[in-house]
Amino acid sequence: MSTLSNTEIARILQGIQALKESGTAAAARQPVAVVGLGCRFPAGIETPAALWDAVQAGHCAVRELPASRRRTPATTDAAPSSCPAKGGFLDEVARFDPLFFGISPREASEIDPQHRLLLEVVWEAIEDSNIPLRTLRGLRTGVFCAIGSDDYLQLTVNPQRAGKLNEYSGLGTSRSVGVGRISYLLGFSGPSVHVDTTCSSSLVAVHLAAQSLLAGECDIAIVAGVNLVLSPLNGLSRAGLSALSRKGACRAFDDAADGFVQGEGCGAVVLRRLDAALTAQDRIAAILRGSGIAHNAGGNGLTAPNGAAQEALLRTVLSQSGLDAADIGYIEAHGTGTRLGDPIEAEAIGAVYCAGRSVDQPLFVGSSKANFGHLEAAAGILSFIKTVLALQRAVIPRQIHFERPNSHIPWDRMALQVNVTTDRAWPGHYAKRYAAVSSFGINGSNAHALLEQGPEVVPYEPADSPQGEQEARLLPLSAKDEASLRAQARQYAALLRTNTASLRDICYTAATRREHFRWRLAAVGQSRRQLAEALDAIADG
């Protein structure tokens, strides 16, 4: 048997190393599928569809601060009375069904409402993904959550309430425990990570989750961000930074911009490697082509934006995605509506995405903060979900509170435009729909992501049934108690009357891609109308 020379051995080893590096690079470039969405935002928005309707209707969710939050036991008489009075506030932040998650009411009362909201919205995102919980438990499912404030901790764990604290108090107000509780209660074995990079937290969480997926640390990644303003002291600290609008409105990229208003909400997305999502026949809402994070690394101050750093990050993510700048049709900007921040961000966008772009084929830019305020830790996930919805619907999102372009932005030198119309279709000159999302932290941590439209879905229609609603169909539903089952029956009746999906797909999904609980029912019908009427009858008792 002949022996190999040292040169030949070295060459073989180099080849093996090159193959490893090639495989690693290919894995790192592999896209990630967005397969589930969940949300809870101001103005009664509890579904992604409702979020899109509000954006396109030009709805502004900013309102007066609820009276229940203006005075609390933790607010001293010495606290200034100039606490910001307007923001994008949620209703009924105390509403929670602990028994659904197997939590005792006593423990639930000590859990930060932000953590409770995360649990609910994560569950809704899982349901939207059509991946049964039992399947997620059999995979390495990771949870990456952004939580940035400790209002509930400040209000409840203090000397004035020393006699009321119990064994749940500390756990209920710990941010990391809030994330770990989700993994524990739902039975997930993958990474369980709390992320806090201030305003960029939830988009940073998206990036970390995608990297974890591509590295093989998890098979499914659930990303969420939440923000509630539970204490008046919260707003006072923001007001001290001179970042809040005195007019009570965020006017991103407008010449009258004077800052942002605070906002509340929660968003969650379910991510999976694209090849795995295609194999599992998941419904793919959008594809994450690339993402990145970086820091300002100096500049004019800790909290001041750094245009050069923003530009470098955008350029890096674009390069790694394999896309050209001209491919991008829309960018959901950080867009806080500040006199300093908007021009710096617009210049960075222009330098990366507008170079060589024709003025008659502009890049559109917008910001959800005009509609809902600045959700801080949840701002990035709101922007991410909004952009996914825009790609799905092939429509450029409408921007409100924009009347006069910011005079500090060189619009005439950049093919950059703000859309104020309700029905602007995605421009037809793009072969595919691509969009970008930015989120910048006040601590200097920046995040950027590039999204692609999901695969086109061809509705199933049986060959012998042009309408697809001639055969008898079985629709099974279940819930954890009778009242919830009746409520679900009513929801499905409404869905059958409004959703355009085929009846076969609706019944198939309910039967095979939902978790099944103790209380169950089944309706049979040959048409949407028959099934909806049967479900209405069940809901009415």
Query: Which tens digits make up the pLDDT trace of 152-193?
Result: 888 887 777 777 777 778 888 899 999 999 999 999 999 999
Query: What mean pLDDT comes out for the span 493-506?
Result: 88
320 in any annotated domain: yes
Q: Does one domain contain both 510 and 433?
A: no
Residue 394: Cβ within 10 Å count:
14
Same domain, 411 and 526: no
- Tens of pLDDT, residues 437-483: 999 999 999 999 999 999 987 665 554 455 544 789 999 999 999 99
Last residue of a domain, one of 453, 484, 502: 453
Residue 347 in domain:
yes
101 inside domain = yes
Please give the Cα distance from 541 to 527 (Å, whole number).
22
Task: Decide which of 423, 453, 483 is a domain's last residue.
Answer: 453
Dump pLDDT digits (tens) for 323-350. 999 999 999 999 999 988 999 999 999 9
Shared domain for 278 and 367, answered yes or no, is yes
Q: For 399-408, what is the mean pLDDT? A: 96
Q: Are strands 328-332 and 434-440 parallel, antiparallel or unpaired?
A: parallel
Q: What is the pLDDT of residue 456?
A: 84
Whole-number pLDDT of residue 155: 84
The alpha helices in 322-358, defined as continuous H runs, are: 341-353
Are 378 and 508 found together in one domain? no
Q: What is the total count of domains within the chain?
A: 2
Whether 20 is in a domain gets the answer no
275 and 221 assigned to the same domain: yes
Residue percentage of the chain with pLDDT more than 90: 71
Calculate Rg over the CA atoms of the chain.
Answer: 25
Question: What average pLDDT does this structure show over 227-238?
Answer: 80
Domain annotation covers residue 202: yes
The torsion angles phi and psi of 342, rounded to 5 degrees, stand at: -60, -50
pLDDT mean over 202-223: 98
| Residue 334 annotated as catalytic | yes
For residue 207, give the nearest of 191, 192, 186, 223 by alpha carbon: 223
Could you tell me if residue 368 is inside a domain? Answer: yes
On whether both 513 and 446 belong to a single domain, the answer is no
Residue 364: domain span? 32-67+83-453
- Choosing from 199, 218, 250, 507, which is the catalytic residue? 199
Query: How many Cα atoms within 13 Å fall on the side-chain side of residue 201?
Result: 26
Of 115, 194, 374, 401, the catalytic one is 374
How much is the pLDDT for 70? 61
Tens digits of residue pLDDT in 371-387: 999 999 999 999 999 99
Query: CATH number of the domain that 501 lies in?
Result: 3.30.70.3290
Prediction pTM value: 0.89
Pairing of the two strands 265-273 and 434-440: unpaired
User: What CATH number corresponds to the domain at position 235?
Assistant: 3.40.47.10
Whether the predicted pLDDT of 242 surpasses 90: no
Average pLDDT for 483-499: 91
- Active-site residue, 199 included: yes
Residue matched to tokens 């005792």: 104
Q: How would you write 399-459 as a 3-class SS string?
A: CCCCCCECCCCCHHHCCEEECCCCCCECCCCCCCCEEEEEEECCCCEEEEEEEEECCCCCC
Q: Say yes or no: 309 and 402 in one domain.
A: yes
What is the per-residue pLDDT for 74? 41
- DSSP bridge partners of 194: 145
- Pick the more confident residue, 450 or 15: 450
Strands 86-88 and 262-263: parallel
Task: Respond yes or no: is residue 39 known to be catalytic.
Answer: no
**Residues 37 and 186 both lie in one domain:** yes
Is 313 domain-assigned? yes
Specify whether 132 is located in the same domain as 269.
Answer: yes
List the catalytic residue out of 207, 334, 401, 448: 334
Domain co-membership, 138 together with 211: yes
Higher pLDDT among residues 236 and 362, named by residue: 362
Last residue of a domain, one of 453, 481, 512: 453
pLDDT for res 79: 43
Q: Is the same domain home to 352 and 480?
A: no
Q: Are 374 and 250 in contact (CB under 8 A)?
A: yes
Position 19 in a domain: no
Residue 525, pLDDT > 70, answer: yes
| Structure confidence by residue, pLDDT tens digits, 48-81 | 999 999 999 999 999 988 776 665 444 443 344 4
What does pLDDT average to over the chain? 89
How high is the pLDDT of residue 66?
75
Q: Is the same domain home to 449 and 477?
A: no
